[in-house]
Structure 1
Amino acid sequence: MAEKGSAGLVPVIVFGNIVILLCGLALFAETIWATTDPYYVYPVLGATGKDDVFAGGWIGIFCGFSFFLLGVYGVIASVKSSRTMFMVYLVLMMVVYIFECASCITSFTHRDYMINSNIVKWQMLSRFMDNSSSRSIEVTNFWKRIMLDKQCCGVDGPQDWVDYDSTFRHSYAEYEAPWPFWCCTRDNNFQILNKQACQVGLSPYLFTTGCFEHIGHAINSYTWGISWFGFAILMWTMLVMMATMYHYFTM
């Protein structure tokens, strides 16, 4: 009776492993997408030393491909009904499970640190236009690019450059440039439309929204792919492993 009862789990285990291998492929692709940094926000994370969102992504690449291979192996083990294969499957799956837990936790905890406009603002004010290190140059280039591409200025808005002291202010007096000229609207040839109007803060010629929304969106997108999708796979994998363990001990 025990063998008959456990034999009924074989189709469930096969289906569960098919889902795991498909999710593993999806996780593999998604974490590759995240680690290639399509939003180009790595300089912001790297300058604070909190770039472990990407470290979690690299672990996720390994785990995604491993889930795919173990899903295939689990299907074969279920079809052959081999106790040895089931034991190897459970041991390897537990190892990958632990690594994926580390990936999810690492990415999520470091995401919480970076979703803080004050930290990003301090970094911008202290490093923008600072050419003393390669890291600061990367941050400067990042802000130049995002302010032009996303048509935004500063973290919360152009007033950031007026209300706080900054490295930029040491290079330009407030009457000369209240904010960087990358905050000014430009024509198709990337020439400033009206420099004087931008200097006095006229909205058609000055980007009045902050850039933090775009930065936060990028970091959240990476975290969702690495942590939340990985967490969902872990929950499903736990159920499949429990069913496999029950089948193993009742064979």
Structure 2
Amino acid sequence: MESCGMNVIKYILFIFNLIFAISGIGIIAAGACVLADVGDFTHFVEGRILAPPIILIIAGAIVFVIAFLGCYGAIKEHYNMLIAFAAALLIIFVIELAVGIAAAVFKNDFSMVMKDTLKESIKNYTEADRMAWDNVQKKLQCCGVDGPNDWSSSNGFTSSFPASCCAEDMQVICQQGSSKVYRDGCFEKLSMRVHKGATVLIGVGIGIAFVEIAGIILACCLATAVKRETDAK
């Protein structure tokens, strides 16, 4: 016969897993939003920046599947399934922790790497670079790496900027000294965009980490209670 305490833990764990399944969808949505936001600027952003949201999407999908494993194990009071559920949560927690540490370590040299990439792109300025700069300057309403002077004649350019540097129709010539030229540099705006995405990922990661720890504790408590009752029979 089930003890009252075991019954309470079982249904708490079941409800927890329903919430956990919903949070898995939330993780996928958060990762997809950040990936879509930063993914527009892949020409200037290293692959390592795109890795965390991709990993978060994968983790969200796994969380969603694992939540159903936990629900089934809780209702059926299946000891092995509960232990497998707790172990799976622990593995996801360790992966998220490793990704967080890697992101924190890379954050120190991220800014310099991206700035060097932007400067190198202006220096080479191939057709692919031109398309990438038009994209980033139009979307972020910025001009050059640190400002419009990056497109000056001293750097080998003509007296006009790329049309995407101006808040005008693309057919209008964007002249130096024009009041329509964007004054902000793209490096600062791109950095802000990436850091905003990182903040979202960190916030979601921390929130889910606490949920995972609670899930591990509940699953272990129920598994222990199930084993104790089974051994007593």
User: What is the identity, as a one-letter code, of the residue corresponding to 2:142?
Assistant: C
- Unmatched 5+ residue regions in structure 1? 163-167
Taking a change above 3 Å as real, the CA distance of residues 138 and 245 of structure 1, as seen in their structure-2 partners, is farther
User: What is the identity, as a one-letter code, of the residue corresponding to 1:27?
Assistant: I
| Matched residue SS, 1:152 | coil
TM-score (norm 2): 0.80
Aligned equivalents of 1:128, 1:34: Cα separation in 2: 26
User: What is the identity, as a one-letter code, of the residue corresponding to 1:78?
Assistant: A
Taking a change above 3 Å as real, the CA distance of residues 43 and 209 of structure 1, as seen in their structure-2 partners, is same
Paired residues in the alignment total: 226
Q: Does 1:110 align with 2:106?
A: yes
1:12 aligned partner: 12
User: Which of residues 63, 67, 73 is equivalent to 1:71?
Assistant: 67
1:190 aligned partner: 171
TM-score (norm 1): 0.75
1:127 aligned partner: 121
Q: Contact (CA 8 Å) 1:56, 1:102: kept in 2 or not?
A: no
Q: CA RMSD in A?
A: 3.0
Aligned equivalents of 2:168, 2:11: Cα separation in 1: 62
Q: Does 1:147 align with 2:137?
A: yes
Alignment identity in percent?
17
Q: Contact (CA 8 Å) 2:142, 2:184: kept in 1 or not?
A: yes
- Unmatched 5+ residue regions in structure 2? 227-233
User: Which of residues 178, 191, 207 is equivalent to 2:182?
Assistant: 207
Taking a change above 3 Å as real, the CA distance of residues 17 and 139 of structure 1, as seen in their structure-2 partners, is farther
Q: Contact (CA 8 Å) 1:155, 1:212: kept in 2 or not?
A: yes
2:201 aligned partner: 226
Q: 1:102 Cα shift?
A: 3.0
Aligned equivalents of 1:19, 1:108: Cα separation in 2: 29
User: What is the identity, as a one-letter code, of the residue corresponding to 1:236?
Assistant: V
Q: Does 1:237 align with 2:212?
A: yes
